[in-house]
Amino acid sequence: MGTSTTVSSALLTRFQAVRSLTDSLSEPLCAEDQVVQSMPDASPTKWHRAHTTWFFETFVLPRRSGGHAPFHPAYGYLFNSYYEAVGARHARNERGLLSRPTVDEVAAYRRHIDTAVGDLLTGEPLDDATATLIELGINHEQQHQELLLMDIKHLLAQNPLRPEYAEPWQQPSSTEPPPLQWHEHDGGIVPVGHQGEGFAFDNESPRHDVLLAPFRLADRLTTCGEWIEFIDDGGYERAELWLSDGWARRCDEQWDAPLYWHREDEHWRVFTLRGDRPVNPAEPVCHVSFFEADAYARWAGARLPHEAEWETVAVEQLDAGPLEGHFLDDGPYHPTAASSTWRHHPVRQLFGDVWEFTSSPYIGYPGFSPAAGAVGEYNGKFMSGQMVLRGGCCVTPWNHIRPTYRNFFPPHSRWQFGGVRLASDDD
């Protein structure tokens, strides 16, 4: 069954907007910035730009009547990320060895595929499967927009010159955050997972019921000021606060503060995409690992929320009002709400500041099965050794955030914009 012209047209608009945003995110970067891989987990900007294009070329364009002639015989190999079913691919940790294709050649690749997808969307009637794959490609590219910014931040932070990605933004003078208060919830049998018409990844399904005991959730995120108290109280030196693997990692990598923090003349400073500046005690702590978040929670006499607890509260809050970001100043997006103005709302900062660590290992929901075909490798095969994070952060495209969204990273990862919201058992 075909998709209507209206749908195709809306899809084209969104396709073009997303593709265009990726290009504008690369604009502040010189060619040199776009080629380097700062660690095996990160990818060069140029690679993100090419890989997101490859995604459309590989999964969407072959569905055109008449087929699709590959733009370049080697790109299928070079820009496949991890799809075993699609074939061999260039080693992930060697992406930074590829000085060619150049940034300009990648831009030409993008334009070529954009045109072809545009033709597809304005030409023949679109079948549902193709529409679904384009939708997936759009969401895929949004994920890489965030990765691009995470990765470029990591790269620039390695450089003693401390280059800025975007102009510093004048933070409002810091105000005291409101005292942390607990939002109480009665628990019970609650639905978890995606429902309805909108797009969601396969890992948000199937929607199912979970039994929750009564619990309490912090009404705001943990702040940098609170994190400094944790540091000053020996939080990074007291093994009893840490999981065993976390403590080993802390010792190996000599963690003594969040990633990107450094001490200068007894004051903490932080490297951001807008340059190096003092830590603002009122803003949410960011770039901590699950291990640090977990240790902090133990120190605070609390715990991290289960993902079902988080989702339940998030859905309820969303029902009570529109999705409103309370952005950190770090990313390229202009913060719409300063950290000096605190919303009057039962539970603040759920969306768009930092990804919030949950206590939930990332596994499939009961009855989960991956999407059919090669795109089934998208999420399912990563369901071991990672933790779920919720909420979206200041470098997540705002229309990519939803309460059922399950992000995931290994418990030691720090380069994602991850922060902390406490939870506790009801007494």
CB of 51 to its own copies, least distance (A): 15
What is the spatial distance between Cα 394 and Cα 145, in angstroms, rounded to a whole number?
A: 12
Q: CB-wise, 106 or 350, nearer to its own copies?
A: 106
Burial 197-228 (b: 16+ CB within 10 A, else e): eeebbbbbbeeeebebeebbbbbbbbbbbbbb
- Taking alpha carbons only, the member of 388, 392, 390 closest to residue 360 is 388
Q: CB-wise, 84 or 119, nearer to its own copies?
A: 84
Q: CB-wise, 100 or 176, nearer to its own copies?
A: 100
Residue the block writes with tokens 């309490």: 216
CB of 225 to its own copies, least distance (A): 27
CB of 140 to its own copies, least distance (A): 17
Whether the Cβ atoms of residue 297 and residue 304 lie closer than 8 Å to each other: yes
Q: Which residues bind its own copies (CB under 8 A)?
A: 30-36, 38, 46, 74, 77-78, 82, 84-85, 90, 94, 96-103, 155-156, 158-161, 163, 189, 208-211, 213, 239-240, 242-247, 290-291, 294, 306, 359, 361, 363, 366-367, 377, 381-385, 411, 425
Q: CB-wise, 96 or 177, nearer to its own copies?
A: 96
Q: CB-wise, 74 or 320, nearer to its own copies?
A: 74
Amino acid (one-letter) located at 64: R
CB of 96 to its own copies, least distance (A): 7
Contacts of 243 (CB under 8 A, 6+ apart): 291, 294, 295, 411
Q: CB-wise, 126 or 389, nearer to its own copies?
A: 389
CB of 377 to its own copies, least distance (A): 8
Q: CB-wise, 69 or 161, nearer to its own copies?
A: 161
Q: What is the DSSP letter of 281?
A: T
- Taking alpha carbons only, the member of 115, 105, 134, 116 closest to residue 46 is 105
CB of 420 to its own copies, least distance (A): 16
Residue the block writes with tokens 């240790």: 295
Question: CB-based burial of residue 244 (10 Å sphere; 0-12 exposed, 13-18 middle, 19+ buried)?
Answer: exposed
Report strand pairing: 407-409 vs 387-390. antiparallel
CB of 87 to its own copies, least distance (A): 11
CB of 260 to its own copies, least distance (A): 15
Q: CB-wise, 23 or 209, nearer to its own copies?
A: 209
Whether the Cβ atoms of residue 60 and residue 117 lie closer than 8 Å to each other: yes
The helix/strand/coil state of 18 is helix
